[in-house]
Amino acid sequence: MNFVFDFGAVLFAWQPHELLRQHFPQVAGTHERAVALAKDFFHHPDWLAFDRGSLPMERVIARTTERLALPGTAVASLISNIGELLTPIDETVAVLERLHGRREGAADVRLYFLSNMPEPYARVLEQRHAFLQWFDGGIFSGDVQQIKPEPAIYQLLQTRYALDPAQTVFIDDLQDNVDAASRLGWRGIRFESAQQVQTHLDDLIRT
């Protein structure tokens, strides 16, 4: 069976409103204001283009600074360092480690990732986190100029690694991304907690 993991908010902590509250306390000092700014900052077409690999970091910094009237130095500091700020979620890494242990025991288990991740951050994660070597393969959006939930990026992973859709389980924190996988015949799990995912996986492996 193939297990495909998302990264942000699944294997790595991702709380964008907290990052903005820390970097821009004057305009994002409350939870409500930080959440609103996070929507404008990270859900804008500029950021999605950065995720896709079609807009370089320096242009995202310049456009975001101008568009949101934020201090340029703080915007550059945040965007430049997000790769270093992504910290593993220990409980989910433990789920991955258990699957990796089954794989090492010659069980029919393969591990992959499918992550919307700009290329600069992807390279940082690869250098900093040895557990990424447990994966048999995977795709970062910034490397292939495609993003979830567009079906092409799922199809690319499926084709590249010859995945059988009926034997492929996809774990992501966003329902739209899970639904896109399900439409291709994959089994989808919307991530809520590591324990919830482990329970689902235990049931799947027993069947």
Domain count, the chain: 2
* Mode of pairing for the β-strands spanning 187-190 and 168-172: parallel
Same structural domain, 55 and 103: no
Same domain, 101 and 199: yes
CATH number for the domain that contains residue 199 = 3.40.50.1000
Mean pLDDT of the chain: 95
In the structure, what pLDDT confidence band is assigned to residue 201 with cuts at 50, 70 and 90? very high
Look at residue 2 in the predicted model and tell me its pLDDT: 96
Shared domain for 38 and 81, answered yes or no, is yes
Domain check: are 81 and 95 in the same one?
Answer: no
Beta bridge partners of 190: 172
φ/ψ (deg, to 5) at 28: -135, 40
Let me know whether 24 and 51 are in one domain. Answer: yes
pLDDT class of 205 with cuts at 50, 70, 90: confident
106 and 191, same domain (yes or no): yes
Size of the chain, expressed as the number of residues it contains: 207
Q: Are 109 and 56 in the same domain?
A: no
Identify the band that residue 11 occupies on the pLDDT scale cut at 50, 70 and 90. Answer: very high
pLDDT digits (tens, 9 = 90+) for 136-153: 999 999 999 999 999 999
Q: Of 38, 67, 85, which one is at a domain's C-terminal end? A: 85
104/80 same-domain check: no
Residues 41 and 79 in one domain: yes
Query: Does residue 120 sit in the same domain as residue 91?
Result: yes
Q: How confident is the model at residue 3 (pLDDT cuts 50, 70, 90)?
A: very high
Q: Which pTM does this prediction carry?
A: 0.95
| Burial tier of 184 (Cβ tally within 10 Å: 0-12, 13-18, 19+) | middle
Which tens digit of pLDDT belongs to each residue from 79-111? 999 999 999 999 999 999 999 998 876 668 999
Whether the pLDDT of residue 207 is over 70: the answer is no
Q: With contact defined as beta carbons under 8 Å apart, do 122 and 143 qualify? A: yes
Task: Please say if the pLDDT value at position 133 is more than 90.
Answer: yes
- Which residues span the domain enclosing 29? 16-85
The predicted structure's pLDDT at residue 106? 62
Of the three residues 85, 109, 129, the one that is the final residue of a domain is 85
Pair (127, 29) in one structural domain:
no
Mark which of 85, 119, 136 sits at the end of a domain.
Answer: 85
